Amino acid sequence: MKTFIQTLWVMLIASLVLFMPQFAYAADIQMGSEGNLVFSPSELTIAAGESVTITNGDLPPHNFVVADHPELSHSDLSFVGGESFTVTFDEPGDYEFQCEPHAGAGMKGVIHVS
Ligand SMILES: [Cu+2]
């Protein structure tokens, strides 16, 4: 009986992994890392279908605006440190992004989706 229950658990976990690809985790980006007006990292590569979690750090407000992709952007300004949101990139390509208040200071980056 114990083995049967263990087998059920294994099947449950396996099915969660198989049928929830939209939660595929790829990477974290910090906004305003260590007191600088930067995204950290500012360049990264993920696979199509993977997600990036962007977390607010120092020197807010920040936002995350992807060039030519309003559906991937989070243009509402984040004022509170630790606030985060997750963006899933389903299509391959190079996605340039910036923080609108700080783009002039170089707060920009690019995500390569392979
Ligand atoms: Cu900013």
Query: What token pair was written down for 113?
Result: 């989706």
For ligand 1, the distance from its centroid to the CA atom of residue 37, given in whole angstroms, is: 6
List Cα–Cα distances, 109 to 63, 74, 89, 100, in angstroms: 12, 14, 15, 12
The tokens describing 47, both together, are: 């696979």
102 pLDDT band, cuts 50/70/90, is very high
* Strands 50-56 vs 84-89: parallel, antiparallel or unpaired: antiparallel
- Tell me, yes or no, whether 18 lies in a domain: no
- Ligand 1 centroid–CA 95 distance in Å is 17
* Domain presence at residue 92: yes
The answer as to whether 5 is a domain residue is: no
Does the residue 54 lie in any domain?
yes
Which amino acid, 68? D
The token pair at 55 is: 């977390």
Answer whether residue 52 is part of any domain: yes
What is the CA 30 to chain-centroid distance, rounded? 9
CA of 93 to the centre of ligand 1 (A): 24
Q: What is the CATH number of the domain that holds 105?
A: 2.60.40.420
- Cα 31 to averaged position of ligand 1 atoms, centre (Å): 7
Reported as a single tens digit per residue, the pLDDT across 1-57 is 667 767 667 666 566 555 555 557 789 999 998 899 999 999 999 999 999 999 999
Tell me whether the omega of the peptide bond preceding residue 60 falls within 30 degrees of 0, making it cis.
no
User: 61 CA to middle of ligand 1, Å?
Assistant: 6
For residue 51, give its domain range. Answer: 23-113
* Cα-to-centroid distance, 10 and ligand 1 (Å): 43
Quickly state the pLDDT bin for 67 (edges 50, 70, 90): very high
Query: How many domains does one find in the chain?
Result: 1
Please report whether residue 68 resides in a domain.
yes
